[in-house]
């Protein structure tokens, strides 16, 4: 997913068509025509587009309406922001053809530039795949791929490549036993692989809001390259933090002074800080602020490599007057110090952001030039977060980003302190709850504006009946980790229960509560002829993973391969089951962000989210099988061909619990429905 100063786009080609300020202005104009439901229809566009640059002098409103009508039979169809951008570009092209002359040739050049970027990125990513997956037992039969062909898009169509690439980026994300690996996959198996890949991509931090399995099945170049770009970026920037590389403390100007600021920076910003640290030592007078225009002449690279690997220095690099020749000498220098040659001199000179970022990240991995003096890094090494807090932070960060918030969250505890991203999340979870007129968008100069944002966050939490004892806006501004985590858990839980409640017509009016979810899971398993039951989400028997495997098998009998399941007795067996559970759940379509350790240690919050996600998927996809007239299904028979293993031969059934303890810090967020008018009028909310 490409980003342009806060505006999110999934199509890589679109990023090259507009300047950041154009993105922001167009987004503002697009949002301004949303109707009461928060949607924009095709019919809303003509009055807007006739005022846009390049169209106002070429077409009338009626002409634009007619041209849009050629592509859309129904003008009441909903249209998203990216489609709006494409329609705008299309109309711009027609306007330039209408006017003729140099404007038309400019349009051709712009399109040519976008095509060149796609080809350059494809070639770079193919080289990366050929190197890192060369020894993969399954994929090696298809490698190496030809960068000049469509091998990449063809191989990606069965989903295996993306799954393998995700595991290269973050080892162990996908249990490879869950990947369908055959030379010829049917449509169902392909779809499972793509679903597993997309949900796993979310789980490592990719933004996949506008990408679906059909896009991957069809091998759409821009969307596929955009996803691969994110995966590779996550791999290459994995060590750009103080936990992985405590030596980074050296790039600070005054030792310990800005340590928290460094921790809060996005990995690419840390990479820039590292690069400028060495450039300053090498006598380079400029500050590099991006991986595009600031590095196009390759001079910064020449200085950087001379500092890091002076033994391979070539005096001609800085003496040459031609940027392309200098870029070639830079790549030669990098290759001699061990960097794989991914990009071409032309990629540097063109200023392709993602490719230049990948090149600098490669240099960092090969030789970061930082001190190994223990005295200099002792302070950074002492910064160790509470293990559970770190795990919770990771879960909530990934969940927040999966919602498609415009401001990408890199560090929950730092990024929420101005309140803005929390307001974005609240607007996603409870549409209409945020009064944007009383909110201040970053960058925020005055501290009291941050407090105002956070106060509104707390106020909305009160409206949603969250338990916010001892929580004030200033606690968020000050970065109180435990209070922030407690609030986010209630927010995530509220979102989850609202999703389930959206299907309440199928639950015949029953409230969606923790006990309701447990009863559903127990009865779902019992309907298959198995007897495993739980009494609460703190049940220690959950650590074996067998309950969840039986539940997954109950909602989709073919998805669990019982030959791969262990008894779940030792820690090793529990971990094997836990990793398999997570991948199988993602494979059928569950968007979850827990770790195997959460299952092994029976983290009750994560047990609830996992069970609720499976339930939501089941209600969405098999309503006729999931619930009968009494609210539950009894249609599944025991899978005789692949029975669940008997762990100890005992009957583990138990009576259904009538009440489940709250999982929040204080009181559970109740199951409520709140209208936007109630928020606007300040009315008290009530439980339905």
Which tops the pLDDT comparison, 106 or 635? Answer: 106
Report the pLDDT value the prediction gives residue 170, as an integer from 0 to 100: 95
| CB-based contacts of 404, cutoff 8 Å, min separation 6 | 8, 207, 209, 428
Report the pLDDT value the prediction gives residue 25, as an integer from 0 to 100: 77
pLDDT band at 623 (very low <50, low <70, confident <90, very high): low
Q: How far, in Å, are 239, 343, 412, 451 from residue 270 at the CA level?
A: 10, 22, 17, 27
pLDDT band at 342 (very low <50, low <70, confident <90, very high): confident
Rounded mean pLDDT, 158-186: 94
Q: What domains, with CATH codes, occur in the chain? A: 12-79 (no CATH), 111-237 (1.10.418.10), 246-380 (1.10.418.10), 386-504 (1.10.418.10), 514-623 (1.10.418.10)
Report the pLDDT value the prediction gives residue 380, as an integer from 0 to 100: 53
pLDDT band at 104 (very low <50, low <70, confident <90, very high): very low
Contact 615, 622 (CB under 8 A): no
**56-60, 132-136, 566-570: which has the minimum mean pLDDT?**
56-60
Report the pLDDT value the prediction gives residue 134, as an integer from 0 to 100: 93
Rounded mean pLDDT, 100-105: 43
Which tops the pLDDT comparison, 598 or 38? Answer: 598
- Write the pLDDT tens digit of every residue in 538-578: 999 999 999 999 999 999 999 999 999 999 999 999 999 99
| CB-based contacts of 138, cutoff 8 Å, min separation 6 | 160, 164, 181
- Write the pLDDT tens digit of every residue in 656-681: 222 323 333 333 333 323 333 333 33
Report the pLDDT value the prediction gives residue 665, as an integer from 0 to 100: 30
- Write the pLDDT tens digit of every residue in 220-238: 888 899 899 999 999 999 9
pLDDT band at 528 (very low <50, low <70, confident <90, very high): very high
Q: How far, in Å, are 13, 208, 404, 538, 606 from residue 223 at the CA level?
A: 9, 9, 16, 41, 31
Report the pLDDT value the prediction gives residue 469, as an integer from 0 to 100: 83
**95-99, 111-115, 223-227, 589-593: which has the minimum mean pLDDT?**
111-115
pLDDT band at 383 (very low <50, low <70, confident <90, very high): low
pLDDT greater than 90 at residue 160 = yes
- Highest mean pLDDT out of 45-49, 352-356, 459-463: 459-463
Nearest CA to 405 among 388, 438, 384, 427? 427
pLDDT greater than 90 at residue 76 = no
Which tops the pLDDT comparison, 132 or 315? Answer: 132
pLDDT greater than 50 at residue 370 = yes
Name the DSSP class of 566.
-
Nearest CA to 232 among 342, 154, 139? 342
Report the pLDDT value the prediction gives residue 672, as an integer from 0 to 100: 28
Rounded mean pLDDT, 62-70: 82
Structure tokens at 451: 């407090």
Q: What mean pLDDT value characterizes the chain? A: 81
Helices (H), 502-570: 514-526, 546-555
**2-16, 495-509, 596-610: which has the minimum mean pLDDT?**
2-16
Contact 393, 485 (CB under 8 A): yes
pLDDT band at 348 (very low <50, low <70, confident <90, very high): very high
**1-15, 118-132, 361-375, 623-637: which has the minimum mean pLDDT?**
623-637
pLDDT greater than 80 at residue 245 = yes
User: What is the spatial distance between Cα 139 and Cα 134, in angstroms, rounded to a whole number?
Assistant: 7
Which tops the pLDDT comparison, 256 or 484? Answer: 484
CA geometry: angle 91, 95, 101, nearest 5 deg: 145
pLDDT band at 197 (very low <50, low <70, confident <90, very high): very high
Report the pLDDT value the prediction gives residue 585, as an integer from 0 to 100: 97
pLDDT greater than 80 at residue 376 = no
Report the pLDDT value the prediction gives residue 113, as an integer from 0 to 100: 57
**204-218, 431-445, 461-475, 545-559: which has the minimum mean pLDDT?**
204-218
pLDDT band at 343 (very low <50, low <70, confident <90, very high): confident
**181-185, 274-278, 675-679: which has the minimum mean pLDDT?**
675-679
Report the pLDDT value the prediction gives residue 651, as an integer from 0 to 100: 34
Cβ atoms within 10 Å, residue 550? 22
**131-145, 202-216, 264-278: which has the minimum mean pLDDT?**
202-216
Rounded mean pLDDT, 35-44: 81
pLDDT greater than 70 at residue 30 = yes
- Write the pLDDT tens digit of every residue in 474-521: 999 999 999 999 999 999 999 998 888 877 655 455 678 889 899 999
- Which helix (H) or strand (E) segment holds residue 9: the answer is strand 7-9
User: What is the spatial distance between Cα 501 and Cα 497, in angstroms, rounded to a whole number?
Assistant: 6
User: What is the spatial distance between Cα 372 and Cα 374, in angstroms, rounded to a whole number?
Assistant: 6
CA geometry: angle 621, 79, 676, nearest 5 deg: 75
pLDDT band at 682 (very low <50, low <70, confident <90, very high): very low
Cβ atoms within 10 Å, residue 409? 23
Report the pLDDT value the prediction gives residue 316, as an integer from 0 to 100: 87
Which tops the pLDDT comparison, 426 or 642? Answer: 426
Rounded mean pLDDT, 630-639: 35
Instruction: List, as one string, the DSSP characters of 486-551.
Output: HHHHHHHHHHHHHHHHTTGGGTTT----HHHHHHHHHHHHHTTT-----SSTT-GGGGGSHHHHHH
- Write the pLDDT tens digit of every residue in 392-409: 999 999 999 998 888 889
């Amino acid at each position: 997913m490409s980003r342009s100063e806060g505006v999110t786009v999934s199509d890589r080609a679109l990023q090259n068509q507009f300047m950041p300020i154009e993105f922001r202005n167009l987004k503002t104009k697009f949002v301004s025509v949303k109707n009461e439901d928060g949607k924009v229809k095709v019919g809303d566009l003509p009055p807007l587009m006739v005022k846009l640059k390049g169209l106002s002098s070429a077409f009338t409103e009626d002409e634009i309406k007619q041209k849009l009508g050629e592509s859309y039979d129904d003008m009441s169809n909903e249209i998203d922001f990216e489609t709006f951008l494409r329609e705008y570009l299309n109309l711009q092209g027609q306007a330039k053809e209408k006017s003729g002359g140099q404007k038309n040739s400019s349009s051709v050049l712009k399109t040519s530039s976008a095509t060149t970027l796609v080809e350059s990125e494809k070639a770079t990513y193919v080289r990366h795949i050929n190197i890192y997956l060369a020894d993969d037992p399954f994929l090696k039969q298809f490698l190496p791929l030809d960068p000049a062909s469509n091998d990449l898009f063809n191989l990606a169509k069965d989903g295996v490549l993306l799954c393998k690439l995700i595991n290269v980026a973050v080892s162990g994300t996908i249990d490879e036993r869950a990947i369908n690996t055959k030379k010829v996959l049917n449509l169902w198996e392909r779809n499972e692989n793509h679903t597993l890949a997309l949900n796993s991509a979310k789980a490592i931090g990719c933004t996949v809001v506008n990408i679906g399995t059909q896009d991957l099945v069809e091998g759409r170049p821009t969307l596929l390259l955009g996803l691969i770009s994110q995966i590779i970026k996550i791999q290459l920037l994995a060590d750009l933090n103080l936990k992985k590389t405590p030596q980074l403390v050296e790039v600070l100007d005054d030792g310990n002074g800005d340590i928290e600021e460094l921790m809060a920076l996005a990995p690419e910003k840390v990479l820039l800080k590292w690069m400028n640290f060495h450039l300053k030592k090498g006598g380079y007078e400029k500050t590099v602020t991006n991986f595009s225009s600031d590095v196009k002449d390759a001079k910064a690279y020449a200085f950087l490599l001379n500092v890091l690997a002076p033994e391979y220095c070539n005096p001609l690099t800085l003496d040459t007057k031609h940027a392309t020749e200098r870029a070639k000498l830079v790549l030669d220098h990098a290759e001699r110090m061990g960097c794989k040659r991914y990009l071409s001199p032309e990629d540097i000179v063109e200023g392709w952001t993602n490719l230049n970022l990948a090149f600098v990240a490669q240099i960092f991995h090969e030789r970061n030039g930082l001190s190994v003096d223990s005295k200099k890094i002792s302070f950074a090494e002492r910064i160790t977060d509470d293990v559970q807090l770190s795990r919770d932070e990771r879960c909530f960060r990934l969940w927040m980003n999966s919602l498609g918030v415009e401001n990408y969250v890199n560090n929950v505890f730092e990024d929420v302190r101005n309140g803005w991203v929390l307001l974005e999340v609240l607007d996603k979870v409870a549409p209409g709850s945020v009064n944007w007129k009383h909110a201040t968008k970053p960058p925020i100069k005055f501290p009291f504006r941050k407090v105002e944002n956070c106060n509104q966050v707390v106020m909305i939490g009160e409206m949603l009946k969250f338990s916010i004892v001892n929580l004030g806006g200033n606690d968020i501004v000050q970065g109180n980790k435990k209070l922030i985590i407690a609030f986010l858990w209630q927010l995530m839980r509220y979102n989850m229960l609202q999703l389930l409640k959206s299907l309440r017509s199928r639950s015949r009016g029953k409230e969606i509560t923790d006990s309701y979810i447990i009863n559903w899971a127990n009865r779902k398993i019992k309907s298959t002829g198995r007897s495993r039951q739980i009494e609460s989400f703190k049940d220690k028997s959950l650590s074996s993973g067998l309950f969840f495997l039986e539940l997954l098998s109950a909602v989709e009998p073919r998805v669990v391969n019982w030959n791969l399941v262990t008894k779940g007795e030792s820690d090793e067996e529990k971990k094997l089951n836990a990793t398999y559970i997570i991948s199988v759940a993602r494979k059928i379509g569950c968007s979850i962000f827990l770790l195997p350790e959460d299952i092994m240690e029976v983290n009750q919050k994560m047990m609830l989210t996992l069970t609720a996600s499976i339930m939501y998927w089941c209600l969405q996809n098999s309503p006729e099988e999931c619930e009968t007239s009494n609210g539950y299904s009894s249609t599944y028979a025991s899978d005789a061909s692949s029975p669940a293993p008997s762990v100890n031969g005992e009957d583990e059934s138990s009576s259904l619990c009538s009440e489940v303890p709250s999982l929040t810090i204080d009181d559970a967020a109740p199951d409520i429905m709140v209208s936007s008018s109630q928020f606007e009028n300040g009315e008290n909310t009530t439980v339905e």
